[in-house]
């Protein structure tokens, strides 16, 4: 069986993890959150990405919460988010009392459609929040210009796109605030939970740093400058991520090569019931390789029979979820979000897949369409 979610992501790092646990667990400081290792990882990621301020926190959702809060979103403020995405793009806004406004997505790339997003901007709009999806970054140059033109904040959800580069600029560094996630299966996932906020703005950085630790400034204990959260980062995981960082570029490259190979193999079926992600490297992230397939359930069953794990992301668009019904006006529709919800099927793209496995997966998909 080739699993979609492999259980052995950190197989090569077992000994290192035990060593980190032992060293931190027996160190005289007994510091397990927001210590030197977290600060070091933040600096390493800042050096790598060019972000002026990098703030590590409890999860990708935590990072998005801190970003939305720091952007000043509250009751009466509208935030434009994609209708087809992971739910934190909507829940973080709603949890702060903001109004979620759902924009439809592009039917081929699955990222938020800039034309539709712009048509939804009103005098109440406070931010737009494009998210990169699966293997494709949103059109950030266009969103940057849009945000400036309308005087709204740009929050970039790069949870799935760490390490991706568009026009020479790293994912997460296009927005006033950008976020990444360290959830296990993400490109730079970890052995637990974590995330980061990126910003070039020193004032926003100060706010985010305070918000992640109950509004404190890191110097004066029990002095609360603002009402915040517990979204602190774990020292064990910080050390683990620093250990994994040197191999990150190589793992990303391996994912990209697998994607190149798949896209090459699948191109002959484009328009014959299959839409593979567009080829290329600019603005691509390869977190997940997702096909759009008319006969999705049949292909899924075919691959399952061949012992190939697949995954369907977001089978119901966000505005059609009971949780977000308050933000969906009756009669309103998001046709492309509904279409890609019904058609997307992700196939394995792990860096440690062997060439034989990759070939076998591609052969199996091609056989189905032949």
Ligand X SMILES: Cc1ncc(COP(=O)(O)O)c(C=O)c1O
- Rounded Cα distance between 44 and 181, Å, is 16
Q: Which residues contact 265 (CB under 8 A, 6 or more apart)?
A: 362, 365, 366
Residues 7-66 contacting ligand X, CB under 6 A = 59-61, 64
Task: Name the token pair of 132.
Answer: 């990169």
Site string for ligand X, 63-102 (x = CB under 6 A): -x--------------------xx-xx-------------
19 given a catalytic annotation: no
**Interacting positions 113-172 with ligand X (CB under 6 A):** 131, 157, 159-160
129 and 79 Cβ atoms separated by less than 8 Å: yes
Question: Applying CB under 6 A, which of residues 178, 195, 277, 317 lies at the interface with ligand X?
Answer: 195
Touching ligand X, residues 299-328 (CB under 6 A): none
In the bound state with ligand X, the residue whose beta carbon lies nearer, of 37 and 231, is: 231
With CB atoms as reference, the residue minimizing the distance to ligand X is: 60
Of the two residues 155 and 362, which places its CB atom closer to ligand X in the complex?
Answer: 155
Residue 89 or 292 having the CB closest to ligand X: 89
The residue from 183, 262, 269, 327 that contacts ligand X (CB under 6 A) is 183
Give the span between the Cα atoms of 24 and 36, in whole angstroms: 11
- DSSP strands (E only) in the chain: 53-57, 78-82, 99-103, 125-128, 153-157, 165-166, 169-170, 177-181, 195-199, 274-275, 289-293, 344-347
Between residues 35 and 172, which has the closer beta carbon with respect to ligand X? 172
Question: Reduced to 3 states, what is the DSSP secondary structure of residue 240?
Answer: helix
CB 110 within 8 A of CB 136: yes
Q: Does 181 bind ligand X (CB under 6 A)?
A: yes
DSSP 33: B
Active site members: 186
**Binding site residues, ligand X, CB under 6 A:** 59-61, 64, 85-86, 88-89, 131, 157, 159-160, 181, 183, 195
């Amino acid at each position: 069986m080739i699993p979609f979610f492999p259980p052995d992501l950190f197989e090569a790092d077992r000994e290192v993890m035990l060593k980190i646990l032992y060293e931190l667990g027996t160190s005289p400081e007994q510091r397990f959150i927001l210590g030197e290792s977290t600060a070091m990882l933040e600096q390493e990621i800042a050096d790598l990405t060019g972000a002026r301020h990098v703030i590590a926190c409890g999860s990708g959702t935590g990072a998005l919460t801190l970003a939305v809060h720091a952007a000043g979103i509250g009751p009466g403020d509208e935030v434009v988010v994609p209708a087809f995405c992971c739910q934190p793009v909507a829940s973080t806004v709603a949890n702060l009392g903001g109004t979620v406004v759902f924009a439809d997505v592009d039917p081929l790339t699955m990222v938020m459609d800039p034309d539709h997003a712009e048509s939804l901007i009103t005098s109440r709009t406070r931010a737009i929040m494009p998210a990169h999806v699966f293997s494709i970054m949103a059109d950030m140059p266009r969103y940057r210009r849009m945000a400036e033109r309308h005087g709204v904040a740009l929050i970039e959800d790069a949870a799935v796109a760490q390490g991706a580069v568009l026009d020479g600029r790293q994912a997460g560094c296009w927005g006033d605030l950008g976020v990444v996630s360290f959830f296990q299966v993400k490109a730079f996932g970890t052995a637990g939970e974590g995330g980061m906020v990126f910003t070039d703005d020193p004032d926003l950085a100060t706010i985010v740093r305070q918000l992640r630790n109950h509004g404190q400034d890191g110097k004066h204990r029990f002095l609360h400058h603002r009402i915040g959260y517990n979204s602190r980062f774990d020292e064990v995981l910080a050390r683990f991520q620093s250990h994994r960082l040197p191999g990150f570029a190589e793992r990303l490259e391996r994912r990209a090569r697998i994607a190149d190979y798949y896209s090459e193999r699948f191109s002959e079926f484009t328009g014959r019931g299959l839409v593979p992600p567009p080829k290329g490297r600019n603005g691509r992230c390869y977190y997940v390789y997702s096909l759009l397939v008319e006969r999705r359930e049949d292909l899924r069953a075919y691959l399952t029979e061949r012992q190939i794990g697949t995954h369907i992301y977001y089978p119901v668009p966000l505005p059609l979820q009971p949780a977000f019904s308050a933000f969906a006006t009756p009669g309103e529709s998001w046709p492309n979000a509904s279409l890609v919800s019904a058609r997307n099927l992700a196939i394995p793209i792990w860096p440690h897949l062997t060439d034989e496995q990759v070939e076998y997966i591609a052969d199996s998909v091609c056989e189905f369409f032949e």
